[in-house]
Structure 1
Amino acid sequence: MPKTVLYARVSTADQTLDHQRDQAEAAGFKIDKVVADNGVSGVSTRLADRPQGKRLYDLLAPGDTLVVRWVDRLGRDYRDVSDSIRHFMRDGVVIKTVINGMTFDGSTKDPIQQAVRDALIAFMAATAEAQAMATKEAQRAGIAAAKGDPRTYRGRKPSYTRAQFNKIVTMLNAGEGASAISAETGLTRQSILRIRNDRAGSEKALALWGL
């Protein structure tokens, strides 16, 4: 008997499995089974390589319906999304999206319908990847902007105290080596070398953290 399977991917804290299922049921889908991946990137991890995503390839059979909130749940990589949709269509599986109510069915033989369908798959897969790249770029820009404001971005908290820093500087000025300073202060040799190579930056880090 044909079944309807919802595939959900939860990649951030503001997404939930229940929300994706509620949306699908509100759109009129009667879900027989839910398959979900949590904390998995749609950009770097192919559908077939995800713990639960790869189950779909064994679970779905001809006549089944695969429901996703939108194609970005299948992935954020153009090739992965388009290849996955075409693979399921070749297996006789119908793919439906909750958002916009899209249907991808491999049973049509009409060349015009096939062309329209394939163009739509390509467009939606490309859109999913473009959105992911735009989000990533915005996050990078936000971090870069925040780095210019010490109240917003202070970097990692120093592993040394002000007293240790002063001791290190004094010993370095006296010509002491990193190993001797490490033994004296209790800090790692790598920490001593980082301070030696960037005294100004190390002191600035203390100031940013109010140390």
Structure 2
Amino acid sequence: MSKTILYARVSTTDQTLDHQKTQAEAAGFTIDDVVSDHGVSGISTRLAEREEGHRLFDILRSGDVLVVRWVDRLGRNYQDVTDTIRHFMRQGVIVRTVINNMTFDGATTDPMQEAVRDALIAFMAATAQAQAEATKEAQKAGIEAAKGDATRYRGKKPSFDRQALETIQHMTAQGAGTTETANATGLTRQAVIRIRKDPAKAEAALARWGL
């Protein structure tokens, strides 16, 4: 009997695994099992090298559905993400994302459909890596800004956490609208607009509060 398995990964203490499961269920997925890695980087650690990520290669079977919040939960390295998704598709596993409701499977034999599917996988994997690099640069800018404000009042505590900031960045890259992004993060449209306008400032606010 086929199963629907959620793979969740968080890399920082302010993110939660439960949030990813809640998002998946809210999107209509019925999750049979959750496999999760905590405190693991998606940039430097390949999925097969993570303790729980490695389990996916052992437990997934043909007909199973692998659900992830977005492809960056699998990893933020272009080669690793594309190799991983293609490996699972060859096994007969269907890969689905919560954000944007993407579906990738190896059932199609039409060459044009395969080309479109593979191009989309490549684009999403490349976006995941590019956003990781952009976030790293924004964090540096935020840290420098926080250092400059070290003796000043920290200001109002941000209404968002790092997971919300990452979700906004992901959805923005995918062309999602402000209202859709606000609904996905639980923030107001105004907050989403402010963060999109100046992500470095948002990083600085998180840094000042140690978030």
- Partner in structure 1 of residue 104 of structure 2: 104
Counterpart residue identity of residue 51, structure 2 = P
- The residue that corresponds to 1:151 in the other structure is 151
In structure 2, C-alpha distance between the alignment counterparts of 1:21 and 1:34, rounded to whole Å: 8
Partner AA of 1:25 in structure 2: E
- 2:47 aligned partner: 47
What is the one-letter code of the residue matched to 2:101? G
Secondary structure of the equivalent of 1:66? strand
1:84 matches 2:84:
yes
* Partner Cα distance (2:63, 2:117) in 1: 19
Which shows bigger deviation, 143-152 or 27-36? Answer: 143-152
Matched position secondary structure for 1:96:
strand
What is the CA distance between 1:140 and its match in structure 2? 1.3
Going from structure 1 to structure 2, the CA distance change for 1:150 and 1:4 (only over 3 Å counts) comes to closer
Partner of residue 21, structure 1: 21
After TM superposition, give the deviation of residue 145 of structure 1 in Å.
Answer: 3.8
Q: Which runs of structure 2 are paired with 1:167-206 in the superposition (5 Å)?
A: none
Q: Distance in 2 between matches of 1:83 and 1:44?
A: 15
Q: Which amino acid aligns with 1:15?
A: Q
Deviations 1:10-51 (A, max 9, x none): 112332111111111111111111000000000010000001
Instruction: Give the root-mean-square deviation of aligned CA atoms.
Output: 1.3
Correspondence for 1:125: 125
Alignment partner of 1:37: what SS? strand
Unpaired runs of 5+ residues, structure 1, are 153-211
Q: Go from structure 1 to structure 2 and tell me whether the alpha carbon gap of 1:25 and 1:146 turns closer, same or farther (over 3 Å shift).
A: closer
Aligned-pair identity in percent equals 74
The aligned counterpart of 1:31 is 31
* Displacement of 1:4: 0.5
How far off is 1:147 after superposition? Answer: 4.1
Query: Counterpart of 1:7?
Result: 7
Residue identity opposite 1:85 in structure 2: I
**Structure having the higher Rg:** 1
CA distance in 2, matches of 1:116, 1:95: 16
User: Structure 1 residues 45, 114: CA separation in 2 closer, same or farther (over 3 Å shift)?
Assistant: same
Q: Which residue of 2 aligns with 1:69?
A: 69
Cα distance per residue 1:146-175 (max 9 Å; x no partner): 4455527xxxxxxxxxxxxxxxxxxxxxxx
* Distance verdict in 2 for CA 1:22–1:150, change over 3 Å: closer
Q: 1:150, 1:56 → 2: CA distance?
A: 44
CA distance in 2, matches of 1:30, 1:148: 47
More contact order relative to length (CA 8 Å, sep ≥ 6) = 2
User: Do residues 56 (structure 1) and 56 (structure 2) align?
Assistant: yes
Instruction: Give, in whole Å, the separation in 2 of the partners of 1:25 and 1:150.
Output: 41
- The equivalent of 1:155 in structure 2 is none
1:100-141 per-residue CA deviation (whole Å, 9 max, x = no partner) reads: 000001110000100000000000000101111111001112
User: 2-side partners of 1:79 and 1:151: how far apart?
Assistant: 43
For 2:162, the equivalent position in structure 1 comes to none
- Match for 2:50: what amino acid? R
Q: SS state of the match for residue 54, structure 1?
A: helix
Q: Write out per-residue CA displacement over residues 153-210 of structure 1, whole angstroms, 9 at most, x where no aligned residue.
A: xxxxxxxxxxxxxxxxxxxxxxxxxxxxxxxxxxxxxxxxxxxxxxxxxxxxxxxxxx
Per-residue CA distance 1:63-102 (angstroms, 9 max, x = gap)? 1000000001000111111110001001110000011000
Deviates more, 1:66-75 or 1:141-150: 141-150
